[in-house]
């Protein structure tokens, strides 16, 4: 935890707990670190009557103790959330800086605070009062996930070309058939591939089995012919890069964008994560129940999966069209008669 040495000990202990006991990903730990550091710097600014132009990033917090944290009230938390909504700017040095961060970003920071205070009150019992226990999350605008249609997915697969065509085709097939995350694909090893399924290590190091069809199996087999001729620095890796290393998340992002452009699709609207949305949508439209899709995607909460139930149900549309009343149309009648 040397990389978090600018934080007080109580925060470092919290981060260690989530890394070693809870098994959270390094990305989650880093987000907790950044969010809690910002929060404590803001509290220091408010408590110590610092000059008005003091930059938040310049405020030291290493010496903050448990007593300081115990004195933080719900009102202080509201002040912090107000600061995020109205005064926080990602780039204070910009010619015309924008103030206030999005509700989603504020919700993430509040989530970090809730986890931190739950750790202090429930897990370690260092505190009695939890000032964020009853705070509601900022209201988020619900947007439907973007996904490729069947025709667009077909065009994407047919457009794959280039030096790494076999590898890239297999990667896209895994995304579209299995709905795995980029980080999960990057982490796949040769030993994770079975006859009709893959073993995936997801968030929190949780393992799951995801099945695939014959077309995906064929794509993987074609790639394995090439893969077995290569030696990588990490030779366990299923997918390698041209420099001989395990393929990176960035490289996967680039190859997906390249294939989208080759297929004539808008690469600003779609990404590797949108292919995950596509897989989920196709499963539901094919009649797979939402609980099964939850297991395939590795969602901890069913509510996360239910966002995909926006898809059009073909059979229900057919039923609606079959109703004779659906053909009645009097919009052309003269309303002035």
Catalytic residues, by residue number, are 181, 203, 273, 276, 299, 308
Give Cβ neighbours of residue 5 (< 8 Å, ≥ 6 apart): 12, 62
Q: Kindly state the tokens that stand for 108.
A: 């993430």
Got the DSSP string for 271-335? -HHHHHHHHHHHHHHTT--HHHHHHHHT-SSHHHHGGGGGS--HHHHHHHHHSGGGG---TTS-T
Give Cβ neighbours of residue 7 (< 8 Å, ≥ 6 apart): 15, 33, 36, 37, 40, 61, 62
The secondary structure of residue 21, as a DSSP letter, is: I
The length of the chain, given as a count of residues: 337
Q: What is the dihedral of CA 96, 99, 103, 108, to 10 degrees?
A: 100
Q: What is the dihedral of CA 127, 132, 133, 138, to 10 degrees?
A: -160
Q: Kindly state the tokens that stand for 75.
A: 């009102």
Using alpha carbons, select from 248, 249, 243 the residue that is nearest to residue 230.
243
Q: How far apart are the C-alpha atoms of 207 and 198, rounded to whole Å?
A: 10
Q: Kindly state the tokens that stand for 50.
A: 């610092």
Residue with tokens 């990404």: 271
Got the DSSP string for 72-121? --HHHHHHHHHHHHHT--S-TTSSS------HHHHHHHHHHHHHHHHIII
Using alpha carbons, select from 139, 61, 56, 63 the residue that is nearest to residue 92.
56
């Amino acid at each position: 935890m040397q990389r978090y040495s600018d934080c007080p000990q109580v925060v470092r202990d919290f981060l260690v707990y989530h890394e070693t006991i809870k098994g959270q990903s390094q990305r989650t730990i880093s987000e907790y670190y950044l969010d809690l550091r910002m929060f404590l710097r803001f509290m220091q600014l408010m408590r110590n009557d610092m000059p008005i132009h003091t930059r938040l990033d310049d405020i030291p917090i290493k010496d903050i103790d448990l007593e300081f944290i115990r004195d933080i009230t719900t009102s202080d938390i509201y002040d912090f959330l107000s600061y995020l909504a109205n005064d926080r700017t990602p780039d204070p040095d910009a010619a015309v800086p924008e103030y206030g961060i999005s509700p989603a970003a504020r919700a993430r920071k509040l989530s970090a605070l809730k986890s931190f205070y739950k750790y202090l009150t429930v897990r370690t019992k260092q505190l009695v009062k939890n000032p964020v226990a009853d705070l509601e999350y900022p209201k988020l605008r619900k947007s439907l996930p973007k996904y490729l249609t069947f025709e667009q997915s077909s065009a994407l697969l047919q457009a794959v070309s280039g030096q790494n065509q076999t590898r890239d085709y297999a990667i896209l097939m895994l995304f579209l058939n299995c709905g795995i995350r980029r980080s999960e694909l990057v982490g796949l090893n040769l030993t994770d591939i079975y006859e009709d399924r893959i073993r995936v290590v997801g968030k929190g190091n949780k393992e799951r089995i995801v099945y695939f069809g014959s077309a995906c199996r064929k794509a993987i087999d074609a790639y394995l012919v090439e893969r077995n001729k290569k030696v990588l620095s990490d030779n366990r890796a299923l997918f390698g890069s041209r420099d001989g290393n395990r393929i990176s998340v960035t490289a996967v992002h680039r190859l997906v964008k390249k294939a989208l452009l080759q297929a004539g699709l808008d690469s600003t609207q779609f990404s590797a994560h949108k292919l995950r949305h596509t897989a989920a949508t196709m499963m539901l439209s094919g009649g797979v129940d939402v609980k099964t899709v939850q297991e395939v995607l590795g969602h901890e909460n069913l509510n996360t999966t239910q966002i995909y139930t926006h898809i059009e149900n073909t059979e229900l549309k057919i039923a609606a069209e079959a109703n004779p009343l659906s053909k009645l149309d009097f919009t052309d009648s003269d309303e002035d008669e």
